Amino acid sequence: MLLWLVASESKKTTDRGVGAMKKTNVRTHDVSAIYKKIDLRVLPFLLLCYLVAYLDRVNVGFAKLHMQSDLGLSDAAYGLGAGIFFIGYAIFETPSNLLLTKIGARKTLSRVMVLWGGTSSCMLFVNSETSFYVLRFLLGVFEAGFAPGMIYYLTLWYGRERLARVMAVVMLAGPIGSIIGSPLSTWIMAEFESVGGLRGWQWMFLLEGLPAVVLGVVALKVLSDTPAAAPWLTDAEKTLHSTLVQTEASDHSSLRTALKDPRIYLMAAGYFCLISGIYAMSFWLPSIIRDSGVDDLMTIGFLAAIPYVGAIILMQILSRSSDRRNERRWHTAIPAILAAACLAGSTVFKDNLAAALTCLSFGTALMWAAYTVFWAIPPQYLKGTAAAGGIAVINTIGLMGGFVSPTLIGYLKSLTGTTEAGIFAMVLLVAVGALLLAANRPPSTTRPANSNAAAAQE
């Protein structure tokens, strides 16, 4: 599936470049060759890295099924521990992304992966509420900067008229990580239970954390800091690529100027609400399924994977529609409000697992689709240092939703004894997020010359 997605992206990129080539007198097959190389060199590796990152971030949701009782954690304590990851992440994210522009993506992403992979594996040593909090916090500290750094890195390789589709490929890590991670995590927990005197959840943290360390080392060899530094592009290809991507206009050229723009914070607030819903599902879906009466670990794992199959399909459809129309705002706001309605519907059918899971599946898919297109918005008017810092600021503020939502659901569940109140809170947050996303008008409806010409050919 990964090879098909990359090949498809390469073909779409070529098609979109036809009009631009007519205007710049550059042969279409030259552009095709460049983007075929970039697609195959950049996208699969980043997708794999982000998949491992997402898995290490949310596997605590499956560990909860046994770890909570082993350690005597309350639902509120678990929710706080799951969410405290994002506190560490938020504190160190912007500095990490600004450092990326100084030392390069290769060293930055390598450092991040090695440190977070080692910390994730160390989760096997958790033996108390305090150690749970400390290691989750450190995991956030060490992973800080990876996602926004990756997004900024992609803006160096792809023009903004291609970004939604490219993001849709890399952001597949979330749903794929959930599809793979759900049965994988529960299988490890079941099969490795008591092996070597360790519980199944301890083996899960160990085995799922080590791949990040390996990928961090490999990144030093695989990644190039910029297109100009890529040894696998010829000088002619580098020159052509710079005319396709780096000449696009930007409303902000410095971080200081960008941070004065209220649209940055409007985007961040909308993103915060969207992320709250996404991580609520990531951390609590296994528990919601168990509370509905399903006790078998493997069954829980497979049922928890269902919502993300639809997410993969909808992410591709919505991102391509967004690129084709060069429209981002309504491609995020409308799916978000529909997602809120679906989450609300899941509580109506709480006594019917099939109906509730259907609502949760549609809601999750819609939130992921909106999330994918959202990340094509900031690069529309942020560039260079402003892009690196601005994207990090948006992601930092937004990812606090990853702290708020599991913590809030845990608190409300401890208070009421059910997850319904928590889900209703997520409905409200996602609905508010939809309104904020709709209110965020783009700075300009003018496309770069390349984009206009490309669109004319579609």
> Would you state the pLDDT for residue 209?
92
3-state class (DSSP) for residue 377 = coil
> Is 16's pLDDT higher than 60?
no
How far is 404 from 410, CA to CA, in rounded Å? 10
| Predicted confidence (pLDDT) per residue in 258-276, tens digit | 677 788 888 889 999 998 8
The better pLDDT of the pair 234, 393 is held by: 234
More reliable by pLDDT, 425 or 455: 425
Q: In the prediction, which pLDDT does 388 show? A: 63
Each residue's pLDDT tens digit, 295-309:
777 788 788 888 888
What single-letter amino acid sits at 156?
A: L
pLDDT value of residue 332? 93
Task: Name which of 375, 390, 179, 371 is nearest 275 in CA terms.
Answer: 371
> Has residue 2 got a pLDDT over 60?
no
Nearest Cα to 323, choosing from 176, 172, 430, 166? 166
**How much is the pLDDT for 118?**
94
What pTM did the predictor assign? Answer: 0.68
Q: Answer whether 117's CB lies under 8 Å from 213's CB.
A: yes
Secondary structure class of 188 (helix, strand, coil): helix
Average pLDDT, the chain: 80
Evaluate if residue 214 carries a pLDDT over 90: yes
Of the pLDDT bands very low, low, confident and very high (cuts 50, 70, 90), residue 20 is very low
Q: What are phi and psi of 296, to 5 degrees?
A: -70, 130
What local confidence, expressed as pLDDT, does residue 456 receive? 33
Q: Span 342-361, mean pLDDT?
A: 84
| Residue 59 three-state SS | coil
Question: Would the pLDDT of 64 be above 50?
Answer: yes
Nearest to 268 by CA among 90, 422, 92: 90
pLDDT for 84-110, tens place per residue? Answer: 887 888 888 778 777 887 888 888 889
Q: Of 153-162, 176-185, 277-286, 385-394, which gets the smallest average pLDDT?
A: 385-394
What phi-psi label fits residue 384: left (phi over 0), alpha (psi between -120 and 50 degrees) or beta? Answer: left
Rounded percentage of the chain residues whose pLDDT exceeds 70: 84
Helix (H) or strand (E) segment spanning residue 156: helix 146-157
Residue 445's pLDDT is 46
In this prediction, residue 6 carries a pLDDT of 39
Give the whole-angstrom CA distance, residue 389 versus residue 199. Answer: 41
Q: For the chain, which residues make up each domain, given as ranges? A: 28-442
Helix axes 353-374, 420-439, angle to 10 degrees: 30
Q: Give the right CATH number for 28-442 from 2.60.40.1930, 3.40.605.10, 3.40.50.300, 1.20.1250.20.
A: 1.20.1250.20
Phi-psi region for residue 194, left (φ > 0), alpha (ψ -120 to 50) or beta? left
Strand partners, 252: 382
Q: How many Å is the Cα radius of gyration of the chain?
A: 21
Residues 172 and 274: their CA atoms lie apart, in Å, by 17
CA distance readout (Å), 401 to 100, 124, 150:
24, 26, 20
**Pair of tokens at residue 364:** 């999750």
Confidence of residue 135 (pLDDT cuts 50, 70, 90): very high
